[in-house]
Amino acid sequence: LIRVCGPIIQCQLLETALLNILNFQSLIATKAARVCIAAENDAVIEFGLRRAQGVDGGLSAARAAFIGGCAGTSNLQAGQQYEIPVSGTQAHSWIMFFEKESEAFQIYAKALPNNCVFLVDTYDSINGLRRAIKVAKQLQKDGHEIIGVRLDSGDRASLSIETRRMLDKAGFPNAKIVCSGDLDEFTIAEMKRRGAKIDIWGVGTRLTTGQPDAALGGVYKLGAVRAPHEQWQYRIKLSGESAKTSCPGLLQVRRFHQLDHRFIADAIYEIDHVVSEPCVIVDLGNETHTEIPARTEYSDLLVPIFRYGELIYRVPGIEASRGYARKQLRRAPPAILRLNKSRAYKVGLERSLHELRSRLIARAREQRD
């Protein structure tokens, strides 16, 4: 929730820009968090620029993915512009440029002896791995260690197990296995379930575009208007679907939490209406009431950012935003973070706001011409 308060024309000018930025970047940060949850403690690198929706779609996706938990991006411009760690490995075209795969590895190793992640699947992953190990041994004699190898196609759960075995046996227990190619939170979770030995995940298209949800449906609604020196008049938009009817008023979000800081539920309330104690939260879908016991700990989430046109908020660096997101995710009920059969987090209207909304719905329906 964001609250914008100001002269109507200025507020209207902000609408599309705010929606565009928030809808898309929230979508990608959420997707990144899901992918990182599936990857457990492994590093996830955002790899999707070539399939992103526009150049700046790729750029802002890299930023949002980092905040959502990714460890880096292959997008160099995002790295430069937002100070996100960049990383990447060899491309297939590097391998294909040479007549033989082993030659491609050797020449790369000569040029960048301390930065070798050999891409082994151009012709056949296991044969490629054998050739990579041969070059890695030569490098080792010269005093360098490979970083690892990358598997980009085929049955990577099985391949990674065999790759780990071969690398260990050849004396490279610290070599990392990078996995990429058509990944998302579900394929990663499935590979984990099958015992895949992957250290780093490169996730592209479905992370950078949010597939299968290419858009988050955030809206920007007028909640109240007032003439100079007068009272606020609340406003509402009706809809056949209850959840699509807008919320009137100047809104704030109260997040209740347990003593161990775990989140319980969020109540949206109107700032000029008294929040009942105990607080009753009304679900917008099924109208059920949830009572939060009196004296439950809470925090109000909205903080002022601009006031009278001045930025009054210390904008955190991207690392701090990422740390904040990680901390908040740790406080969320585990059941809402599950990839399958997840429970919805409890969010609803505080009772006074729900009553205000009901009165306004009735009044709007009775409106005379």
Kindly report the length of the chain: 369
**3 binds a second copy, rule: CB under 8 A:** no
Query: Of these, 80, 81, 174, 233, which contacts a second copy (CB under 8 A)?
Result: 233
Q: Taking CB under 8 A as the criterion, which residues in 268-307 touch a second copy? A: none
Is the distance from CB of 151 to CB of 168 less than 8 angstroms?
no
**60 binds a second copy, rule: CB under 8 A:** yes
Smallest gap from Cβ 234 to a second copy, in A, equals 10
* Segment interacting with a second copy, rule: CB under 8 A, options 207-215, 268-276, 292-300, 306-314: 207-215
Query: Of these, 1, 126, 215, 332, which contacts a second copy (CB under 8 A)?
Result: 215
Number of residues that bind a second copy (CB under 8 A): 71
Query: Of these, 13, 14, 91, 126, which contacts a second copy (CB under 8 A)?
Result: 91
Q: In three state form, how does the secondary structure of 102-151 look?
A: HHHHHHHHHHCCCCCEEECCCCCHHHHHHHHHHHHHHHHHCCCCCCEEEE
Query: Of these, 1, 10, 12, 304, which contacts a second copy (CB under 8 A)?
Result: 12
Q: Taking CB under 8 A as the criterion, which residues in 130-159 touch a second copy? A: 130-131, 134, 153-154
322's CB contacts (< 8 A; 6+ apart) are: 66, 67, 68, 69
Tell me the CA distances in angstroms from 246 to 8, 20, 224, one per residue in order.
18, 19, 11
CB burial string 211-249: b at 16+ within 10 A, e below: eeeeebeeebebbbeeeeeeeeebebeeeeeeeebbbbb
Smallest gap from Cβ 104 to a second copy, in A, equals 11
Query: Of these, 10, 14, 81, 124, which contacts a second copy (CB under 8 A)?
Result: 124
**209 binds a second copy, rule: CB under 8 A:** yes
Copy the structure tokens of residue 177. Answer: 């296995």
* Segment interacting with a second copy, rule: CB under 8 A, options 190-198, 214-222, 250-258, 309-317: 214-222
Smallest gap from Cβ 290 to a second copy, in A, equals 28
**106 binds a second copy, rule: CB under 8 A:** no
Task: Quote the CA–CA distance of 191 and 368 in Å, as a whole number.
Answer: 61
Is the distance from CB of 188 to CB of 38 less than 8 angstroms?
yes
Q: Considering beta carbons, is residue 216 or 347 the nearer one to a second copy?
A: 216
Query: Of these, 4, 26, 30, 57, which contacts a second copy (CB under 8 A)?
Result: 57
Q: Taking CB under 8 A as the criterion, which residues in 14-43 touch a second copy? A: 15-17, 19-21, 23-24
Query: Of these, 2, 6, 85, 97, which contacts a second copy (CB under 8 A)?
Result: 97
Pairing of strands 297-300, 306-307: unpaired
Task: Quote the CA–CA distance of 188 and 201 in Å, as a whole number.
Answer: 8
Pairing of strands 347-350, 279-282: antiparallel
Task: Quote the CA–CA distance of 249 and 225 in Å, as a whole number.
Answer: 9
Query: Of these, 149, 151, 191, 236, which contacts a second copy (CB under 8 A)?
Result: 236
Q: Taking CB under 8 A as the criterion, which residues in 152-191 touch a second copy? A: 153-154
